[in-house]
Amino acid sequence: MTRAGIVTVVGKPNAGKSTLLNRIVGEKLAIVSDKPQSTRDRVVGIRTTDDTQMVVLDTPGLLNPRYELHRAMRTTALRALADADVIVYLADATERVPPPLEEAADLTAPPRAPVISVLNKVDALRSVERDELRALLPEARFISALNGDGVDELLAELSLVLPEGPFLYPEDEISTASVRFFVGELVRETALEQLDQEVPYSLACVVEEFREGRTPVYIRTVLYVERESQKRILIGSGGQRIRDIGRAARAKVEQLVGEPVYLDLWVKVLPNWRKSDSALRRFGYRLHDDPSS
């Protein structure tokens, strides 16, 4: 008998969602960054072991108190919660006791699926702090997504909650999201690593062309920003910054694609794209009341 279902990971920016997701799926699928908010769409990773398949969803931005989430992003994240068979509510243990999920996500009703509270980054706690937290939160699981402590136990527990049934995806498929999407996220991640706090929310990346079957693989990507001033920041004086971004991004993309890549990188201004439904759709967001999503 096999088990299969959806595990949705929710947590504040920097809680370690992407790190955990990468560990669960075993591939660099979600984007890890110490800058908040670098994964914007829900990322689907799939972990298939002998008799269990977990489809893992991310909910970027849902618990970000400093940022009023565009309704399209919130819709995407709430959908990931509603689709879940089990929800992992991940919090940073170094920030002490997290609020309940309903409060943190401003939900009108508790989620249908069971919620497992998980405190991450226990490697960064002193043992007395760990003991205090355990006493305060006896129900919580303690893990380090970074070094793997507690993750196998968590996965075993999640497996048991998943419904019995056939696998949802073929065994060798690691993700339903396309390589194109991840290439865009890698380029965006690389750009974020080199920018200050000013630009991140305004930055989107789209892969406009992906020509395989030749060496190097030709990939044209466009980084979209909202203002000319942001474009100038991204390009840097004499084009130095965009060249650095391109070089670093190409190395990551080659790892993902497994072949030499020619990365053709452009920067364009699309004013107020975060308020434009057509732009959001183009960048992969689900929109509220969108019958096609």
Q: Which positions touch ligand GDP (CB under 6 A)?
A: 11, 13-19, 32-34, 36, 120-121, 123-124, 144-146
120 binds, among ligand GDP, Mg ion, none (CB under 5 to 8 A by kind): ligand GDP
Angle at 142 between CA 141 and CA 145, to 5 degrees: 115
Least distance from C-beta 41 to Mg ion, angstroms?
Answer: 11
Q: Stretches 14-22, 152-160, 185-193, 242-250: which one binds Mg ion (CB under 5 A)?
A: 14-22
Question: What are the percentages of helix, strand and coil residues in the chain, rounded to 5?
Answer: 35, 20, 40
18 binds Mg ion (CB under 5 A): yes
Q: Binding mask 30-69 vs Mg ion (x if CB under 5 A, - otherwise)?
A: ---------x------------------------------
Closest of 157, 159, 61 to residue 118, by C-alpha: 157
Tell me if 110 sits within 8 A of 137, measured CB to CB: no
C-beta closer to Mg ion: residue 12 or 17 = 17
Name the binder of 121 from Mg ion, ligand GDP, none, CB < 5-8 A by kind.
ligand GDP
- Nearer CB in complex with Mg ion: 20/222: 20
Q: Report d(CA 222, CA 227) in Å as an integer.
A: 15
Q: Smaller CB distance to Mg ion: residue 85 or 189?
A: 189
Closest residue by Cα to residue 30 from 53, 68, 57: 57
Residue 144 interacting partner from ligand GDP, Mg ion, none (CB closer than 5 to 8 Å by kind): ligand GDP
Taking CB within 5 to 8 Å according to partner kind, which of ligand GDP, Mg ion, none is near residue 34? ligand GDP
Provide, rounded to whole angstroms, the least separation between the CB of residue 152 and ligand GDP: 14
Instruction: State the Cα–Cα distance between residues 274 and 259, nearest whole angstrom.
Output: 34
Interaction of residue 120 with Mg ion, rule CB under 5 A: no
User: Pick from ligand GDP, Mg ion, none: which does 207 bind, CB < 5 to 8 A by kind?
Assistant: none
Nearer to Mg ion, 35 or 282 (CB): 35
Residue 76's binding partner among ligand GDP, Mg ion, none (Cβ under 5 to 8 angstroms by kind) is none
Of 33, 19, 23, the residue nearest 54 (C-alpha): 23
Q: Distance between CA atoms of 2 and 118, rounded to whole angstroms?
A: 25
Specify the pairing of strand 52-58 against strand 115-120.
unpaired
Cβ proximity to ligand GDP, 58 vs 279, nearer residue: 58
Taking residue 179's Cβ as centre, other Cβ atoms within 10 Å add up to 16
Minimum CB separation of residue 124 from ligand GDP in Å reads: 4
**What are the Cα distances from residue 154, in Å, to 88, 140, 278?**
10, 11, 40
Return residues touching Mg ion (CB under 5 A): 17-18, 39
